[in-house]
Structure formats: structure tokens, C-alpha cells
Amino acid sequence: MKMQTRVTRRIIAGILGAALLPLSSISVLAHEAPCPLCGMTITQDTPTQDNEVALKIGRKRIEYKCVYCALAEARTEYKGDLSISAPSEKKGEPVVLKREGETWTALPEAPYFVSPAKLKHKICQQQARAFTTLEAAQKYLQENKDAVGDAKPLTLAEMLQVAGIAPNASSDSAPADKAPVEKAPADKAPDADHGEHEGHGEHAGHDQ
């Protein structure tokens, strides 16, 4: 009787294991999806650094490889109110961008961003990032010159313009001593095949 019970338990355990394995595999594959904009595999979060960018609109949650990808697709693909959670230098504390109507705001209220003139989508999770302070952005630039090149810290208004979005009164204004950044054409999208995106206006023309 005891022998039959042990055999039965082993059979049940084997069946459950076989049933759960495909589900776990499907879960991993679904999580490691390509970015809807650039087509590159979304870089997963690590124990020490967040990488995944999430756009939320209504009940939908869409993940992107970097904050530029999310902003660029918010401009062309989604209408109405939405939010974007962009990883910051602080694990578990993203910079949250919100669009209500045509107005963009952020929490914290004065974040900074990094996005070089030529964005390489193979490593855009390193090149296009958000930061809670100017000091954090400057530190990142100093420590990651191989990835970001000669990029400079950007205000919210400047980052919106890099993504082809017109700034608004609620976002930080560009410094007075800088020329305005040209708005990207509505039908222009990054070249996913080459994995690069050239910046616009004052952010264009810097070689990596």
C-alpha cells in the first residue's frame, strides 16, 4: 500500500512538473519581447539597475527598450492621456512622465535625460535614460563615455523635442542661449534594421 502511494505521488509530481515547464518557458519568452519601436530585444532589469521602460494607456501596458522609444511611439501611435515609467539612477524609483491632453509633466518635477545625437538601438537602454537630478545625469555621462559619447544632459522639454514632441508650458523650457530644436517629421521613424537613429536640430551632427 505504501509502495503504491509513493509511486502515485511521483507520477503526480512528474505530471505537474511537465505541465508547468512549458508555462514557465512561455512566460520567459513573452517577457523577453522585442521593442515595439526599434525591434530590438528589451533589456531586462538587473538586481542593481532597472532597464525596462513601460508605457501605460488605459488598461494597456507596453514595454520599450528605452525612454526615447516610448516617447517616440507615444507621439505617433497613441492618443489621449498616458504615462511612461522610465528607469532612473535609483533602483525601483523611475521617473514618471505623464501626458494629459497635450501637456507633459514629470515626477520628480525637474528630471534630466541623456540621449546622444546618434542613438544606436542595440544599446539604447544605455544611451537614452532618465535621471532624478542634473548631478546624477552628469555622473552617468562621465562614467559611460563609451556608450553616450559627447551627449549632454537634457531637460524634459529638450528630451520631448528630441523625440519629435512639441514642448509645452508645463515642461522645462530650453535654456535661452540655445537655439530651438527642430521637430521631427511625423512620419520619420528610426531605422530598426541599422539600429541607429539620428538626432534632430541642435542634437544632430555629433559623430559617435
pLDDT digits over 155-198, tens only? 999 999 999 998 774 455 444 333 333 333 444 444 444 455 55
Sequence-distant (6+) residues with CB within 8 A of 17 are: none
Q: How far is Cα 171 from Cα 158, in angstroms, rounded to an integer?
A: 9
pLDDT digits over 18-65, tens only? 444 444 443 344 457 899 999 999 999 999 999 999 999 999 999 999
Q: What is the dotted CATH code of the domain comprising 53-203?
A: 3.30.450.410
- What is the arithmetic mean of pLDDT over 98-124? 95
- Supply the pLDDT for residue 194: 40
- Supply the pLDDT for residue 99: 97
User: What length is written for the chain?
Assistant: 208
- Supply the pLDDT for residue 113: 98
Helices (H), 61-172: 67-77, 124-127, 134-143, 145-148, 156-162
- What is the arithmetic mean of pLDDT over 61-73? 98
Q: How far is Cα 145 from Cα 151, in angstroms, rounded to an integer?
A: 9
- Supply the pLDDT for residue 198: 53
pLDDT digits over 83-108, tens only? 999 999 999 999 999 999 999 999 99
- Supply the pLDDT for residue 7: 45
Rg of the chain (C-alpha set)? 21
Quote helix, strand, coil % in the chain, to nearest 5: 35, 20, 45
What are the residues facing 100 on neighbouring strands?
A: 103
- Of 6 and 119, the one with more pLDDT: 119
Q: What is the DSSP string of 101-123?
A: TTEEEEESSS-EEE--SEEEGGG
3-state secondary structure of 40: coil
**Domain parsing of the chain, residue ranges:** 53-203
- Supply the pLDDT for residue 96: 98
CB atoms within 10 A of CB 72: 25
- What is the arithmetic mean of pLDDT over 53-78? 97
- Supply the pLDDT for residue 168: 73
- What is the arithmetic mean of pLDDT over 107-125? 95
Q: Is the peptide bond before 108 cis (omega within 30 degrees of 0)?
A: yes
CA atoms in the 13 A half-sphere facing the CB of 122? 5
- Supply the pLDDT for residue 32: 76
Q: How far is Cα 115 from Cα 126, in angstroms, rounded to an integer?
A: 9
